[in-house]
Chain A
Amino acid sequence: MSENNNKDRKMQQNHGGPMGGPGVMHGGEKAKNFTGTVKKLVQYMKKYQVLILIVFLFAAAGAVFSIIGPKILGNVTTEVFEGIMNKVRGTGEGINFESIAKTMMFLLGLYVLSALFTYIQGWIMSGVSAKITYKFRREISEKINRLPLKYFDKTSQGDVLSRVTNDVDTISRTLNQSLTQIITSITTVVGVMIMMFSISWQLTLIALLILPVSTGLIAVVVKASQKYFKKQQSYLGKVNGHVEEMYGGHIVVKAFNGEEDSIRTFDKFNDELYDSAWKSQFLSGMMHPIMMFVGNLGYVLITIMGGWFAVRSMITVGDIQAFIQYVRSFTQPIAQIANIMNVFQQTAAAAERVFEFLEEDEEIAEVTNPIKGVQHEGHVEFKNVRFGYDPEKIIIKNFSCEVEKGHNIAIVGPTGAGKTTIVKLLMRFYDVNSGQILLDGHDIKDFTRYDLRENFGMVLQDTWLYNGSIWDNIKYGRLNATDEEVLAAARAAHVDSFVHALPDGYNLVLNEEQTNISQGQKQLVTIARAILADPKVLILDEATSSVDTRTEVQIQRAMNNLMKNRTSFVIAHRLSTIRDADLILVMNEGDIVEQGNHEELLEKGGFYADLYKSQFEEDFVETE
Chain B
Amino acid sequence: MFKLIRYLKPYTVFIVVAIALLFVQAMSELALPDYMSDIVNVGIQQGGIEEAIPEAISRETFDKVSLFMSREDKEKILSLYTLVDENSASYEENLKRYPALEDQAVYVLKSGEITDKADIRLTLGKALMAYSGIKNGGAEGNENFSMPNGITIPEGTDIFKLMQFIPEAQRLEMLGQIDAMVEVMGESTVNQAATLAIKEEYVELGMDTSKMQSDYILWAGFRMVLVTLLSTLCTVLVAFIASKIAAASARTLRRDVFRKVENFSNTEFAQFSTASLITRTTNDITQIQLVVVMIIRMVFYAPIIGVGGVIKALEKSVSMSWIIALAVIVILGLVGIVFTIALPKFKKIQKLIDRLNLVTRENLSGLMVVRAFNTQEFEEERFEGANKDVTNTNLFVNRVMVSMMPVIMFVMNGVMLLIVWVGAHQIESSGMQVGDMMAYIQYAMQIIFSFIMLTMMFIMIPRASVSGVRVSEILKVKPQIKDPENPKVFPKTFKGKIEFKDVCYKFPGAEENILNKINFTAMPGQTTAIIGSTGSGKSTLLNMIPRFYDVCGGQILIDDIDIRDVNQHDLRDRIGYVPQKGILFSGTIESNLKYADENATQAEMEKAAEIAQAVEFIDSKDEGYESAISQGGTNVSGGQKQRLSIARALLKKPQIYLFDDSFSALDFKTDAALRRKLKKETGDSTMIIVGQRIATIKNADQILVLDEGNIVGTGKHNELMKSCQTYKEIALSQLSEEELA
Contacts and interface: CB of A to CB of B under 8 A. Distances in A.
7 closest Cβ pairs, A-B complex: A122-B402, A278-B247, A289-B235, A285-B239, A548-B533, A281-B243, A304-B221
24 contacts: A1-B408, A15-B287, A104-B417, A111-B410, A111-B414, A126-B402, A129-B398, A161-B357, A239-B282, A256-B648, A257-B569, A274-B248, A288-B239, A300-B35, A307-B217, A308-B217, A311-B44, A311-B47, A317-B44, A317-B434, A415-B665, A553-B733, A574-B733, A621-B675
Contact of B387 (A104, A137, A621): A137
Given A5-B405, A69-B413, A240-B282, A289 B44 contact: no
A251 B545 CA distance: 12
A84 B434 contact: yes
Contacts of A164: 356-357, 360
B546 A255 contact: yes
Interface stretch (A139-147, A353-361, A393-401): A139-147
Interface in B669-694: 669, 672, 675-676, 679, 692
B375 interface: yes
Given A15-B287, A145-B376, A289-B236, A116 B406 contact: yes
Contacts of B405: 1-2, 5, 118, 122
Given A85-B45, A134-B391, A263 B259 contact: yes
B395 interface: yes
Given A1-B408, A88-B193, A466-B366, A293 B261 contact: no
A88 B192 contact: yes
B362 A277 contact: no
A589 interface: no
A255 to B, nearest CB: 4
Interface stretch (A199-207, A434-442, A609-617): A609-617
A617 B32 contact: no
Given A104-B421, A118-B406, A247-B277, A454 B232 contact: no
Interface residues of B, number: 181
Interface stretch (B9-17, B97-105, B250-258, B613-621): B250-258
A317 B420 CA distance: 14
A116 B402 CA distance: 11
Among B35, B405, B679, B698, chain A packs the most CB atoms within 10 A around the CB of B405
Contact of A620 (B229, B412, B648, B672): B672
B231 interface: yes
A76 B424 CA distance: 9
Contacts of B266: 250-251
Interface in A89-115: 89-91, 94-95, 97, 100-101, 104, 107-108, 111-112, 114-115
B218 A304 contact: yes
Interface string B354-375: 0011111111111111111111
Given A122-B402, A145-B380, A250-B269, A77 B360 contact: no
A130 B391 contact: yes
Contacts of A137: 356, 383, 387, 390-391
Given A119-B406, A466-B366, A161 B242 contact: no
Given A254-B546, A320-B40, A415-B667, A11 B460 contact: yes
A304 B406 CA distance: 33
B244 A282 contact: yes
A145 B447 CA distance: 56
Given A270-B251, A282-B244, A307-B44, A549 B729 contact: yes
Contacts of B374: 450, 453-454
A84 B460 CA distance: 47
Contacts of B363: 141, 144-145
Contacts of A81: 45, 434
B246 interface: yes
B224 A247 contact: no
Contacts of B353: 165
- Name B's interface SS: helix
Nearest to A87: B428
Given A165-B357, A256-B652, A293-B228, 9 more contacts: A7-B456, A77-B438, A137-B387, A149-B368, A161-B357, A249-B584, A281-B242, A427-B368, A579-B736
B416 interface: yes
Contacts of A157: 361, 364-365
Given A112-B410, A297-B228, A300-B224, A286 B239 contact: yes
B610 interface: no
A266 B534 CA distance: 36
B513 interface: no
Contact of A624 (B225, B676, B695, B739): B676
Among A172, A241, A303, chain B packs the most CB atoms within 10 A around the CB of A303
Contacts of A624: 676
A130 B393 CA distance: 10
Interface string A502-546: 000000000010000001000000000100010000010000111
A44 interface: no
A476 B369 CA distance: 10
Interface stretch (B71-79, B112-120, B573-581): B573-581
Interface stretch (A341-349, A403-411, A457-465, A487-495): A457-465
Nearest to B36: A303
Contacts of B449: 4
Given A11-B460, A161-B360, A479-B378, A263 B228 contact: no
B274 A250 contact: yes
B236 A114 contact: no
Contact of B40 (A239, A307, A457, A575): A307
